[in-house]
């Protein structure tokens, strides 16, 4: 009974197998093969970009400058919020014992003139300088002494008198030389006469007393010659001493001028330093060109505390660039010139699009930052924007000085088949 049933089932199965349409099977097999070939072909054709992602900060080259109070006191405003400032313009000043206009006038005088002509003579005597007054008075005393010295002709007068005396003494020496010559001639004549008188004495034509008198006259004349020679030497020595005195006076003048110059220069430096310290403490001035913006609801006579932020000066934005930090792992794939797509958090991507950028620089040394996983070494990457702030949707974005976003750096476009084999190879090596 069972054998008959099994035989019947086998015949039914065989009958079903014989009924399968062979043409349909061929079509299914061909379609499957084409599908597989298509997938493989797409794996070679389709390229998918390999990216390095990160957080980016898009900022301008010139950042705003915040101004902080360096002392406490009442503040007096000189410029309004929204005013355009040039570098050095005074925005406000904090109350002190000085008149800020007098301080600025003194500072301008010190800066606009050289040391030899400081223009201090034109300064009024009623300047209100507060803490700067002590340094100012010290400088004015030193400057007055220096000016008195350079205007005085005492040293020149001394040299001129000595030079005149030297000229007279030299003329006296010339006369003395002539006088000595004449005296020598007189001595020679006297001795010649003495020789003749000696013959007369022998002949008893002249007494011995008269001969002795003539001889004494010769000695007197010879002594006079020696006296004149000594006087000439003394006068020449006096001339030499006067020349040395002129040199000493010149040296003394130079030393006095140098000392006085050093004193007044030191006093001037101290005054300039005192002015700069006062300006840093009590003045608020623009360090750069830009637009002024109040950081508080300031009014005249508002009291401010030391360290309190008062103003900001916003410069012209200029060109923007992006700054990102990428982990050291995989950073070798990033190269200068690679494309970077930047999606800003402030402007939704689906509405505004993304900014096209390029990698412009990569740091050569890592920078450690603290993360949730501990200290992580990173590289600093700078992104430039050749198209400016225009997105791929053609919209121009009015950015602030610092805007956050996401960045995708396209390092290399790989085929799908390459990615498959790379994954298989990586798993096989593990």
11 & 106 share domain: no
Alpha carbons 193 and 218: distance in angstroms, whole number = 9
266 & 365 share domain: no
The edge-to-edge listing of strands for the beta sheet with 73-77 is 283-285, 90-94, 73-77, 302-304
277 & 149 share domain: yes
134 & 195 share domain: yes
Q: Residue 265: which CATH number?
A: 1.10.287.1490
Do the domain assignments include residue 341?
Answer: yes
Q: Name the token pair of 247.
A: 């040199």
Do the domain assignments include residue 188?
Answer: yes
324 & 300 share domain: no
- Picking from 261, 294, 316, the residue at the C-terminal end of a domain is 316
Alpha carbons 270 and 236: distance in angstroms, whole number = 51
Say yes or no to pLDDT of 81 above 60. Answer: yes
266 & 337 share domain: no
For the entire predicted model, the pTM comes to 0.57
Do the domain assignments include residue 58?
Answer: no
277 & 128 share domain: yes
- What is the pLDDT, as a whole number, of residue 62? 73
Do the domain assignments include residue 54?
Answer: no
- What is the pLDDT, as a whole number, of residue 237? 84
Q: How confident is the model at residue 25 (pLDDT cuts 50, 70, 90)?
A: low
Q: Is 220:190 a contact under the CB 8 Å cutoff?
A: no
338 & 223 share domain: no
Whose tokens are 């990160």? That residue is 54
Mean pLDDT of 127-154: 83
Do the domain assignments include residue 353?
Answer: yes
270 & 308 share domain: no
70 & 122 share domain: no
Higher per-residue pLDDT: 157 or 44: 157
- What is the pLDDT, as a whole number, of residue 318? 66
Q: How confident is the model at residue 350 (pLDDT cuts 50, 70, 90)?
A: confident
Q: How confident is the model at residue 17 (pLDDT cuts 50, 70, 90)?
A: low
Higher per-residue pLDDT: 317 or 89: 89
- What is the pLDDT, as a whole number, of residue 413? 65
Q: How confident is the model at residue 419 (pLDDT cuts 50, 70, 90)?
A: low
175 & 292 share domain: no
Do the domain assignments include residue 302?
Answer: yes
Domain range holding 13?
Answer: 2-45
Q: How confident is the model at residue 40 (pLDDT cuts 50, 70, 90)?
A: low
Do the domain assignments include residue 126?
Answer: yes
333 & 299 share domain: no
Q: Residue 79: which CATH number?
A: 2.40.50.100
- Picking from 282, 300, 333, the residue at the C-terminal end of a domain is 282
Say yes or no to pLDDT of 189 above 80. Answer: no
- The two beta strands, 90-94 and 283-285, are antiparallel
Q: Residue 401: which CATH number?
A: 2.40.30.170
Q: What average pLDDT does the chain have?
A: 79
- What is the pLDDT, as a whole number, of residue 47? 59
- What is the pLDDT, as a whole number, of residue 265? 86
Burial call 279-315: b when 16+ CB within 10 Å, e when fewer: beebbbbbebebbbebeeeeeeeeebeeeeebbbbbb
With a pLDDT cut of 70, the percent of the chain lying above it is: 80
Say yes or no to pLDDT of 20 above 60. Answer: no
Mean pLDDT of 299-317: 85
In the chain, how many domains are there? Answer: 4
Do the domain assignments include residue 53?
Answer: no
With a pLDDT cut of 90, the percent of the chain lying above it is: 0
């Amino acid at each position: 009974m069972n054998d008959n049933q099994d035989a019947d089932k086998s015949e039914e199965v065989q009958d079903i197998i014989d009924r399968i349409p062979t043409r349909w099977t061929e079509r299914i097999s061909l379609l499957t093969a084409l599908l597989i070939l298509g997938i493989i072909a797409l794996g070679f054709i389709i390229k998918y970009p390999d990216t390095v992602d990160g957080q980016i900060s898009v900022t301008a080259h010139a950042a705003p400058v915040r101004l902080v109070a360096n002392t406490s006191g009442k503040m007096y405003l000189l410029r309004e919020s929204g005013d355009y400032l040039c570098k050095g313009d005074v925005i406000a000043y904090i109350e002190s014992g000085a008149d800020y206009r007098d301080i600025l006038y003194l500072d301008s005088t010190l800066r606009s003139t050289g040391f030899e002509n400081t223009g201090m003579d034109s300064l009024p005597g009623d300047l209100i300088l507060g803490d700067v007054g002590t340094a100012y008075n010290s400088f004015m005393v030193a400057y007055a002494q220096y000016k008195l010295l350079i205007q005085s002709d005492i040293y020149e007068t001394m040299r001129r008198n000595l030079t005149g005396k030297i000229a007279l003494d030299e003329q006296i020496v010339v006369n003395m030389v002539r006088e000595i010559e004449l005296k020598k001639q007189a001595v020679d004549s006297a001795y010649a006469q003495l020789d003749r008188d000696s013959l007369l004495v022998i002949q008893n034509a002249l007494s011995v007393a008269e001969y002795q008198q003539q001889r004494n006259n010769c000695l007197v004349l010879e002594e006079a010659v020696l006296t004149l020679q000594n006087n000439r030497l003394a006068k020449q020595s006096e001339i030499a001493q006067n020349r040395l005195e002129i040199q000493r006076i010149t040296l003394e003048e130079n030393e006095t001028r140098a000392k006085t110059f050093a004193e007044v220069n030191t006093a001037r430096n101290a005054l300039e330093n005192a002015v700069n310290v006062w300006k840093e403490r009590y003045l608020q001035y623009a360090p750069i060109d830009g637009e002024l913006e109040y950081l508080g609801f300031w009014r005249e006579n508002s009291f401010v505390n030391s360290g309190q932020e008062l103003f900001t000066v916003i410069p012209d934005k200029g060109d923007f660039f992006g700054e990102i930090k990428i982990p050291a792992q995989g950073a070798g794939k990033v190269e200068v010139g690679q494309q970077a797509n930047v999606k800003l958090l402030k402007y939704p991507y689906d509405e505004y699009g993304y900014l096209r950028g390029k990698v412009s620089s990569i740091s050569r040394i890592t920078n450690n930052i603290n993360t949730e996983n501990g200290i992580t070494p990173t590289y600093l990457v700078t992104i430039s924007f050749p198209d400016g702030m225009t997105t791929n949707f053609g919209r121009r974005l009015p950015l602030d000085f610092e805007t956050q976003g996401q960045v995708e750096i396209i390092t290399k476009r790989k085929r799908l088949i390459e990615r498959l084999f790379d994954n298989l190879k990586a798993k096989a090596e593990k």
